[in-house]
Structure 1
């Protein structure tokens, strides 16, 4: 059964296939895995050579290769018989409005609860936490925006330590750090969408635009607090605002957050592994036309990792 998604990020490595084994050779040594157990290979390494035999064997086993530039998928190498999954594409294209609404409700609920969880970690004695928790657990139609208002006020006071912080793409303060972190998160979501076979152009809430990927924007929402926490930790270690720039050091720091451990049901996995599990559950929900299988991530037991 093909179920592993293999991520290749080692520098100056080579990929090949011999006797049915996917082999990665790098300075750290050789690692192998049976190709028949692989669903897709995500290549984020800046310098990797791929043997032509691997391309042929991957095609024979139905394995897709996602080749990234700056962590964002730039090319897909798919077997001819997997280039179009008719059932999945049809399921995505003709998803009902009711199912789309329910999937988005579950996504927003997870995001709001994660925002409350992080706010409670950042400011455990803040008087607004009770209201934030109440709204996060409600069925209020505007709960996403209401939770965001409270969350960012708490974040501003206890992280940015300012009264005039505003969350926005072109605003100052911690915003450049947050924007870069969200871009890394978006790339990680896209990698897994392509690897699992979902078309990111079929979203459930975000509006399609030219060259946009609305489904990736949809499914990244519950994971945004992971970036918010990572940035909060950076600011805690670099309190001088002149250090709140997207430097090489910060890029290295924030791009490691997908490897941080979080809880997902009864498992403790890295964020990247949880993203894969969530997207697989979303795929099952779409194919079965039921919202039940979809299990967006909600932080449960452990402290936020730094």
Structure 2
């Protein structure tokens, strides 16, 4: 079952009752012009087990400790946003698998050659998906991207990821003068930032569910980054976000309006192809992280990534 993504952009009071997330909207309750029947409908309930991601984007949201506990126990990712409505915090459960200790040990004991091979597969998948993204968005088959993907060696010592990325962004948004992918750059960087934050939460949640440490990466190792492994594994998924952002850009939607956010919040349900089958992105992420654990445990040598 696909878990739901809940977004709260207005004042709300979130609590727990009978394994249900109870959502109260104080603005509706206090409005004197509304009839009592409508005020009673201001309370909504959602089964906790159906929720995968919760996004809190308002300073006047109150959430009880009981609700937080229930959400985390059901492997929900809880995202908080700053004053600019950009995701700034991520809360995940400390455990998400019954054999947690064993899985942590397998991950910690992974050899450097294995990590380099996994990173090679990751970058090959990312560049191939970038090439597919360009083919869909600008209707051009970029052969050099496919060549670079095939040439990636163990650990990517030639840094073909960076070469491909520079070409990719220049080509994808070719009609924006001097466009570069920069977190603080010009639009549609703002849309990309938002989309990647949602994607990161989905991948981190899947890693925890698979019993893995999101902190311990196979390539990223910034000591200030609590989600290095999530940042590694999300790389081949990024082009799916890029395609969605390109669609919004082509419709001249460059600001984070409610409509644009609604489109970006659909990321967990984006249709991807994985292992020869169509699947929502959130389900595909679970397959990817499960295959990663099999690599750490010695059952496999290949991570399963999605394709277009």
Sort the TM-score into its range (normalised by shorter chain). 0.7 to 0.9
Does the aligned pair in 1 maintain the 2:2–2:282 contact within 8 Å? no
Match of 1:104 in 2: 119
Following superposition, the deviation at residue 113 of structure 1 comes to 0.2
Aligned counterparts of 2:4 and 2:140: Cα–Cα separation in 1: 40
Q: Deviations over 1:167-222 (max 9, x none)?
A: 11122132111111111111111121222221111100012322421000000000
List gaps (5 residues or longer) in structure 1: 18-22, 300-306
Q: Give the aligned length.
A: 268
Does the aligned pair in 1 maintain the 2:169–2:181 contact within 8 Å? yes
Q: Secondary structure at the match of 1:76?
A: coil
Following superposition, the deviation at residue 230 of structure 1 comes to 0.8
List gaps (5 residues or longer) in structure 2: 9-13, 24-40, 57-61, 81-86
Aligned partner of 1:255 among 247, 261, 265: 265
Q: Secondary structure at the match of 1:209?
A: coil
Does the aligned pair in 1 maintain the 2:75–2:205 contact within 8 Å? no
Aligned counterparts of 1:202 and 1:285: Cα–Cα separation in 2: 15
Following superposition, the deviation at residue 151 of structure 1 comes to 1.1
CA distance 1:6–1:68, shift in 2 (3 Å): same
CA distance 1:156–1:251, shift in 2 (3 Å): same
Match of 2:52 in 1: 42
Superposition RMSD in Å: 3.6
Q: Secondary structure at the match of 2:151?
A: coil
CA distance 1:67–1:271, shift in 2 (3 Å): closer
Does the aligned pair in 1 maintain the 2:272–2:306 contact within 8 Å? no
Match of 1:296 in 2: 305
Match of 1:302 in 2: none
Aligned partner of 2:166 among 142, 149, 156: 149
Q: Deviations over 1:117-146 (max 9, x none)?
A: 1111122346xx122222222235332122
CA distance 1:253–1:92, shift in 2 (3 Å): same
Does the aligned pair in 2 maintain the 1:41–1:195 contact within 8 Å? no
Superposition TM-score, scaled by structure 2 size: 0.73
Aligned counterparts of 2:100 and 2:297: Cα–Cα separation in 1: 11
1:19-168 mapped onto 2 (5 Å cutoff): 42=52, 44=54, 64-66=74-76, 68-70=78-80, 73-76=90-93, 82=98, 85-125=100-140, 129-139=142-152, 141-157=158-174, 161-168=175-182
Aligned counterparts of 2:135 and 2:169: Cα–Cα separation in 1: 13
Does the aligned pair in 1 maintain the 2:77–2:202 contact within 8 Å? no
Superposition TM-score, scaled by structure 1 size: 0.73
Following superposition, the deviation at residue 264 of structure 1 comes to 1.0
